Structure 1
Amino acid sequence: MSERIFITGIGTGVGKTVTSACVVEALQADYWKPVQTGLKEGTDTDTVKSLISNPVSVCHREAYCLEAPASPHLAARLEDVNINVKRILELAHSIQPSNRSLVIEGAGGLMVPLTEQVFTIDFIQQLEAKVIIVAQNYLGSINHALLTARVLKQHAIPVLGWIFSGEYHSNETEVIGWSGYPLLGRIPHTGLVDRAFVKEQAEKLSLW
């Protein structure tokens, strides 16, 4: 099956990259992070590539790599770079596998601006992608999770469901019920994220 799956988060640092690796491994899909910011600790593409063990998945190069650990529009402004969303969409068409899904990891949440005019949610619509929401439990996470779900519904964007990361909290059950989106799985906190961990978690996901 060939489709686009967009991994978004309810905020920054909620586990999107490890979740992306698990989804890629589970589906033997391709991976793509169109815009990477904050290069000091390396790229998410390199991280995912190091965590998947199947021989099929391809990790595609970023369209833009920017140094500053900031939103794409701000990082681009600091480096005098023009992010061309039309070019990114053309790349998406050119790298889309004919027989595998393409997992696309976003930067932060839905309202992160890619440019002065285009937000992540606009980009998802233009990609015609289905969404997996990555959530983590912290003070304020219910609000962030339900705002994310509400905005996706308002824009009629198809959502596959939730993947929670980190420590379990009963809030997860309530968020799932209130949002109406199903639970696809949860990825627990671990001190060592490696290929064995990702493969184990991938096998537990209920994607379809």
Structure 2
Amino acid sequence: MKETFFITGIDTNIGKSYATGWLAREWNRQGIKTITQKMIQTGNVGHSEDIDLHREIMGIPMTEEDRQHITFPIVYSYPASPHLAAEIDHQTIPIDRIGESTRILRDRYDVVLLEGAGGLMVPITRDYLTIDYVADQHLPVILVTSGRLGSINHTLLSIEALEKRAISLYGLVYNTYPKADELIDADTEAYLRDYLEKHHPESRFWVLPQIDLTR
């Protein structure tokens, strides 16, 4: 198995980084050699806080690829959408560097989990969206959602955007934390499970448990 999956979310702060680290941990435990990569990191200097979180969840130290910045090839200091963060740092985003890093990782691992920045429609440049990159690279998508109010709408809009570009939905990760209204939470999970079974029966459905990093 040599595969790259693009991990995105229905919104900002939906739990993409937790889902990415958790999937990597679970697949490594199953014997699937898995590494994570951050597409573009903003709000940091010289490191990626999302990669740091992945490694903490995975329970492993920083890898050689981390130390070489292969897993986070592009970093900007301002915590904003990539297009704006790059402009603030007076940089032009070297988009090719993302794919070059992914290819290096794919040669060394069975699976690369490439985490995006924000959702599918986040601009990488003024004229190029995240979903454009996913389509150009023919990457199957793992979409992270949750039970908070509004998630059904945001999830279906994201899935529709994937369908319009013929992008494969590999799976949906349902984030159970933080806890929302119990009634809405239960109904949202049931609705999304049913929707996938009807419209994307080949797609997986995972429930992301609360991850305690204090122990």
- With normalisation by structure 1, the TM-score equals 0.83
Of the candidates 171, 193, 196, which is equivalent to residue 213 of structure 2?
Answer: 193
Deviations 1:70-90 (A, max 9, x none): 100011111111102123222
SS across alignment from 1:170: helix
Aligned residue for 1:138? 148
**Distance in 1 of aligned mates of 2:151 and 2:9:** 11
Aligned residue for 1:30? 35
Whether the 8 Å CA contact 1:4–1:128 is kept in 2: the answer is: no
Whether the 8 Å CA contact 1:30–1:97 is kept in 2: the answer is: no
SS across alignment from 2:118: coil
Aligned residue for 2:195? 178
CA RMSD for the aligned pairs? 2.3
* 1:31 to partner: Cα distance: 0.8
SS across alignment from 2:124: coil
- The gaps in structure 1 that reach 5 residues or longer are 197-208
**Distance in 1 of aligned mates of 2:76 and 2:109:** 31
* 1:10 to partner: Cα distance: 0.3
Aligned residue for 1:199? none
* 1:65 to partner: Cα distance: 1.0
Equivalent residue pairs, number: 193
Aligned residue for 1:169? 186
Identity of aligned residues (%): 31
* 1:154 to partner: Cα distance: 1.1
> Within the alignment, does 1:52 sit opposite 2:58 as a pair?
yes
Deviations 1:31-54 (A, max 9, x none): 100210122896101111122136
Aligned residue for 1:84? 94
**Distance in 2 of aligned mates of 1:130 and 1:83:** 23
Deviations 1:100-155 (A, max 9, x none): 11010001110001111221111112232211110012222111110001111111
Deviations 1:11-65 (A, max 9, x none): 000111110011111222011002101228961011111221369x865431111
- The gaps in structure 2 that reach 5 residues or longer are 29-33, 180-184
**Distance in 1 of aligned mates of 2:194 and 2:100:** 37
* 1:98 to partner: Cα distance: 5.0
Deviations 1:150-183 (A, max 9, x none): 1111111111111111234311221233353445
Task: Give 4+ residue runs of structure 1 displaced > 6 Å after superposition.
Answer: none
**Distance in 2 of aligned mates of 1:163 and 1:80:** 36
**Distance in 2 of aligned mates of 1:88 and 1:15:** 22
- With normalisation by structure 2, the TM-score equals 0.80
Of the candidates 91, 115, 122, which is equivalent to residue 112 of structure 1?
Answer: 122
